[in-house]
Amino acid sequence: MLHAPRFTGHISLGIILIETFYIRCKIENVIDRSKSVVIPQLLVDTGSEYTRVAATTLEKLGIKREKKDLAFMMANGQLVTRSVGFAIIRVDKFFTVDEVVFAEKGDLLLLGARTLEGLNLVVDARRKKLVAAGPLPAAASRSFRTPQLERRSLTSAFQTARRSGPSRHGV
């Protein structure tokens, strides 16, 4: 179970109400993990792709600006440019490496959708908390195909060959 998030209210977008909550997380330097800081309140925002952390915090951790002057559209429609670096983000026992935006004064500090996906967490809106998303999807290799699937594939290939007529080899 994750730390109990603090509910702070709701955001009204027309007739849709979106409840918001914060989580506690830890940000680490990917090269020197001894350089880390706990952020007590980070807004969970699935509408934002990137996680945003105060530039001063990231600089203090020695996180470098790897991508500079990327354009971002803020929630209010304003176009801004920010730098992006790489960090380890931990929420309880879950962690991921992700790109983080160097947030400037006045920017909301938030945990974005890409980080949530990397953490393999989803929002439980009813309980206002993050929960494990479950097993990660993966494609099965050919060696793990069931006999039923194998027969279906061979039958399908045979029917396709029959419809297309004889091959140039007379088969």
pLDDT at 137: 80
Question: 60-69, 121-130, 134-143: which has the minimum mean pLDDT?
Answer: 134-143
171 pLDDT band (50/70/90 cuts)? very low
Please give the domain boundaries of the chain with CATH numbers for all domains. 6-132 (2.40.70.10)
Cβ contact 96:115 at 8 Å: yes
Average pLDDT over residues 36-54: 95
Q: Token digits for 78?
A: 């304003």
Question: 4-13, 51-60, 117-126, 161-170: which has the minimum mean pLDDT?
Answer: 4-13
pTM of the model: 0.71
pLDDT at 74: 83
Q: Token digits for 121?
A: 């967490």
pLDDT tens per residue across span 110-123: 999 999 999 999 99
Report whether pLDDT(145) > 60.
Answer: no
The DSSP bridge pattern shows strands 110-111 and 36-44 to be parallel
160 pLDDT band (50/70/90 cuts)? low
Cβ contact 41:6 at 8 Å: yes
Percent of the chain, pLDDT > 90? 58
Dihedral sign computed on CA atoms, order 91, 97, 102, 107: negative
